[in-house]
Structure 1
Amino acid sequence: MSRIFRSDDVSIGERVVVRRVFGDVHSDVIGHVTSLEPLRLRPQEVGGYPSSLPEVEVPAEQIGIIKRLSPRRVRNSDIRRGEQAWAQEHPASEEQWTSDGQWLMRIGADNAALPLGRSAGVTPAPLAEIVEFYRARNLPPRVCLVERLGATAEPHVADWELGEETLVMLDESGAQFHVSASDTEELERLREQGFVEHHRRRYATSV
């Protein structure tokens, strides 16, 4: 589970992932919240559906981080399609793929490299190439840490400047809005209109 995205306040009935910490060991539990104090989850069925499995209680001292998930399982390919759609809606003046074909380096839109390749989330991030690309254009190197897809870059940008955490909200038609994770009023308005959280993203800029 990524540590660049913060913990959420969750409610009963929501699907969440909880990282349990036992000293130097950790494990993740995914399920639906049945109780808050103490925190209890009912592990999910395949696909993210509610189950009738026994509840799992997580003591407060074992909670490392807790994140709200979309009501149904979101695949990496779903996230990639959403990010590709966003990039198409915000065209860049210059684009170039990294030599491994996993990160799309963009100029003029958000001036950032996006992890849009099929293997971006599991292959080493080509940060040296990305840094060289932007510095050659007198721009600060910048990557978009898309949840899951940008995972391999995260350990290498620990000393970079992290931007605001953004939630990508989608409705049943596929329409998407990018909203600050701290804008609770806008998030609630979108949820009332049928939008659900799809994934998260955050920019990191070399300083």
Structure 2
Amino acid sequence: MYISKLSVKNYRNFGEEKFTIPLKPFTAIIGENNIGKSNLIDCIGLVLSQDITMFKKRFLDIDDINSKTKENFKKSIVRVIDEETIDDSEMKFPEVKVELILDELDDDQLAVVGDWFYEKTFTKAKLTYWFKPRAGFKRQEWIERQVANLRELLSEGKVKKEELYNHVEFPIDQYEYVIFGGNNPTNKCDPYFLKMLKLEVLDALRDAKKELVVTTGNINYYIVF
């Protein structure tokens, strides 16, 4: 089994337009510093990692959501302060999505992913991590509170209108995540079966000379590939 395709949307440096990359059984990810290589690997961890620290990381922090997407969302709130009525259906709350396509599964793996197939050949499975506003979130009330606060700031002359978006809060505490299989968001993946698809994510190697050194007494050994 291997991941044949990875798609990411709104996670850290990956923006509103879905980023998709095809993968092979062995794929080298090469790029400059701060270009998003580690973020790409972290995306896979959001879906498959069973590391105890990852369970907490799946509840994303506000900084995990793409900054440009958040800015555009806040500006959309500012644009309605002059309107008499506010329609929450027109407000697009940012969502984070990571999709993995699992390919070339053996018989044992096929038994595990039986509920996660997404096409008629029943040979490939799809897993999706979806971070979104929770079902009980009262969007209309939240928007109205934000607009009322912005109107007050504007009337008091404390903030210029073009800077108002900086004072819009982000409802990160009203978000939740789900990991589902196939094309059905209600088909939640049982953690028991996810554990069977073992994944180990290693930290990025920043300084090969320092991090690959092994010290024994007064002698230094370097691991060479």
Q: Is TM more than 0.5 here? A: no
- The TM-score with structure 1 as length reference comes to 0.23
